[in-house]
Chain A
Amino acid sequence: MDFDLSDEQRQLKDSVERLLKDTYDDLNLRKGYMKEPKGYSDALYKQYAELGLMAVPFSEEMGGLGQGLTETMIIAEAFGRALALEPYLPTIVLAGGVLRHAGNQAMAAELIPAIVEGKQTLALAFQERQSRYDLANVSTTAKADGKGGYTLEGEKSVVWGGDSADKLIVSARVSGGRADRSGIGLFLVDAKASGVTRKGYPTQDGMRAADVTLSSVRVGPEAVIAGPDKGLDVLEVVADEAIAALCAEAVGAMAALQELTVDYLKTRKQFGVPIGSFQVLQHKAVDMYTAVEQARSMAYYATMMAADPDPKERRKAISAAKVQVGRSIKIVGETGIQLHGGIGMTMEYKAGHYFKRLTMIDLAFGDADHHLRQLAAAGGLQ
């Protein structure tokens, strides 16, 4: 048991934080990136690649650095603190996670070098309008063409980073009923392939997503990433790693919002004194701090358990982390806005942007109540 970062991990943390501080500290810079064609800074995305961030989770044989989830946690936390827009989560954690776990060596060898160099972005199209938080609820169909290929038909919704991604990884049902656990395959689809229509839009947190319509999209046997016997298993392990990363991102954003709030309480004067001299506000700030620290603890726990070989233990731990982080998000986000007063309500000030990103993180891959239900149904943690 040791919570210290290694020298390499500390270096990684320092270099990511330094880069993001220079490029994101000013909220106007972020607004500028949002207006770029892809809705984020392509130049910055390339810089991440130069720093080696894209290579972090991939094995050395695949051209990566072979690092673990701790490094991903460090990066995600820094992204949260900066409110970075670039599609690291969709490309590296989600789509990259599928490539790592599905075990299709040929496809990995073909795609990962371009991902690592920052030349290609991917998105994972796993959600549908009716699916809510159930990864197995898939109505998009994949019909075998008899030659090893498939024809995809259906609609995927809120695909993070989906409007600018070069390639999509799509979950589609090869067999079984709508929410059956088996029968789901994962397919690689070129975003510009015939029959693919994307409707892109900004999301509440300033990022971008797309609804994707697949109309008789034909893919060859080489596009099958995971067959119907294992698609859901891959999706589940990738979702759990993504939840761990999102927990870390939330911790970064919550810590930044909490610090911003404390600074504000110390400088804002009313009744002739800094409002931070009032005990009722101090105690609320302490409750924010406690909520951040409890969430940080569970983000570490999620990072540790996301690689647990027992899927049942892994799922329970990830659910527990998402519960804590979701509850902390509500405390830190809402109190952060309240303690700022009117300025917290404006688009010009950073607090509100943290609040919005945090709120969207709670809604990603299951909110606190969803995961509490899952955890309770699985018998709890002990």
Chain B
Amino acid sequence: MELRFSAEENAFREELRTFFRTAVPESIRKKVSENRHLSKEEMVTSHKILHSKGLAVPHWPKEWGGADWTPVQHYIYTEESQFNGIPQPLPFNVSMNGPVVIAFGTEAQKKRFLPRMAALDDWWCQGFSEPGAGSDLAGLKTTAVRQGDHYIVNGQKTWTTLAQYADWIFCLCRTDPTAKKQLGISYLLIDMKTPGITVRPIQTLDGGHEVNEVFFDDVKVPVENLVGQEHRGWDCAKFLLGNERTGIARVGYSKQRIARIKELAGRVMTGSKSLMEDDRFREKVAAVEVELKALEMTQMRILSEDRHRKSNTPNPASSILKIKGSEIQQATTQLLLEIAGPLALPYQTDEEEHGANALLPDIDWAAPAAPTYFNYRKVSIYGGSNEIQRNILAKAVLGF
């Protein structure tokens, strides 16, 4: 048992840090650190910079651009990129659809889709949730009916994140309405430019436009865009959702946010002392730090155990990472809101942020506090709500 990083691992971290801080524009890193929205161009720019160094898809197999790292190196990469405010390489491409195509796709599909996915030449979005299929995802109703060389897709997806930018959508569709729930679903890749697709924005509580509804009206999808076997798309979905859980702890972002909390609370005065010198406030910060350190160690333990796991299935213990990771993220946004205090009230849209209506620079730091707090309620809901994660742990770990 050696719980410290080796000299090689520390050197690896140092090298990454230098790259992140020199190659990715400071304006982008600053926006991430301050919880401001990035434009599509900024996300693509950052993704392509990472890709140029082989850092967009390091967890993929080497032949598709992966890095052949140890689990600890992957951990360091994730933490270091998050801590330095590097936007995540687009998760729909690199963490969700990419691994599914690699695990279930044909050679032709891999050659056609993976390089463009890795480079973010194609922007992907996720067509899983439906108005009637949230936690009970297998209850989805969007249909794909085989007609010759095509499927005809009809139905509606929702909560589709950044569909407004997407070139492609990976989609769960019901191909066998007679089969039992999970057994009649297929995983299709659909070009967003296909006639019959409509994207309607959903504005979330924070005022932002992150998610959308996507409607399919007689959309023709070539049969060659089926991934895995027909009717066996649930295997792909389970695989994808398992992968999603491990990336969801977001320890590095929370560390970065703690650093920001300390910096801002050190500047904001309450009476004659700074908020950071207030016993009650600093104990709240310390309590979150303790939880975060425990989460970080738990994540490394799960990584370490995974090296010995024979099966390719996700470690059910990773549901802990989702539960604690989301709670901690929410706690940090709560602390930022407390720091902002009454300055959290002014509401401005992204457009106004740079226009004539922009807030005065000396209170502008407080502007993202409330929207971020509101927005982060999502983290205990998406990717399998925390209650679903408890169901998973109850069943898979405790054996209920």
Contact = CB atoms under 8 A, between A and B. Distances in A.
A317 to B, nearest CB: 8
A289 B393 contact: yes
A375 B390 contact: no
A297 B258 contact: no
B398 A323 contact: no
Contact of A282 (B5, B6, B72, B400): B400
B2 A1 contact: yes
Interface stretch (B28-36, B189-197, B281-289): B281-289
A60 to B, nearest CB: 20
B267 interface: no
Contacts of A277: 400
A343 interface: no
A5 B1 CA distance: 5
A289 B398 contact: yes
A6 B1 contact: yes
Interface in B320-344: 320, 323-324
Contacts of B157: none
B293 A320 contact: yes
B317 interface: yes
Interface in B242-281: 255, 258-259, 262, 279
Given A1-B9, A266-B400, A372-B283, A282 B324 contact: no
Given A293-B320, A324-B294, A381-B290, A1 B4 contact: yes
Contacts of A377: 282
A216 interface: no
Nearest to B285: A380
A171 interface: no
Contact of B294 (A276, A279, A294, A376): A294
A210 B290 CA distance: 34
Interface string A270-308: 000000110100110111011001111110110110000
A354 to B, nearest CB: 18
B249 to A, nearest CB: 12
Interface residues of B, number: 46
A1 B300 contact: yes
B22 to A, nearest CB: 23
A380 B259 contact: no
A36 interface: no
Interface in B56-93: 72, 75
A286 B398 contact: yes
Interface string A1-44: 11111100100000000000000000000000000000000000
Contact of A376 (B75, B286, B305): B286
B1 A294 contact: no
A372 B279 CA distance: 10
Contacts of B259: 382
A375 B3 CA distance: 22
Given A1-B304, A266-B400, A70 B1 contact: yes
Per DSSP, chain B at the interface is helix
B304 A304 contact: no
A254 to B, nearest CB: 13
A89 interface: no
Contacts of A9: 1
Interface in B373-396: 387, 390-391, 393-394
A3 B1 contact: yes
Contact of B289 (A3, A5, A265, A380): A380
B397 interface: yes
Contact of B3 (A3, A6, A323): A3
Contacts of B282: 376-377, 380
B291 interface: yes
A373 B320 contact: no
Contacts of A266: 399-400
A219 interface: no
A2 B304 contact: yes
B72 to A, nearest CB: 5
Residue among B301, B317, B390, B399 facing the most chain A CB atoms (10 A cut-off): B390
Given A266-B400, A298-B297, A320-B293, A382 B394 contact: no
A382 B255 contact: yes
A186 B387 CA distance: 53
Interface string A344-382: 000000000000000000000000000011011100111
B298 interface: yes
Contact of A3 (B255, B300, B394): B300
A262 interface: yes
Interface in B1-29: 1-6, 9
B327 to A, nearest CB: 10
B185 interface: no
Nearest to B284: A376
Interface string B80-113: 0000000000000000000000000000000000
B306 to A, nearest CB: 11
Given A296-B301, A301-B3, A373-B279, 8 more contacts: A1-B2, A283-B394, A290-B393, A294-B320, A301-B294, A303-B3, A377-B282, A381-B289
14 contacts: A262-B398, A279-B391, A282-B391, A282-B394, A282-B398, A283-B390, A289-B397, A290-B320, A295-B294, A297-B296, A323-B287, A372-B287, A375-B290, A381-B289
Interface of A: 1-6, 9, 70, 262, 265-266, 276-277, 279, 282-283, 285-287, 289-290, 293-298, 300-301, 303-304, 320, 323-324, 372-373, 375-377, 380-382
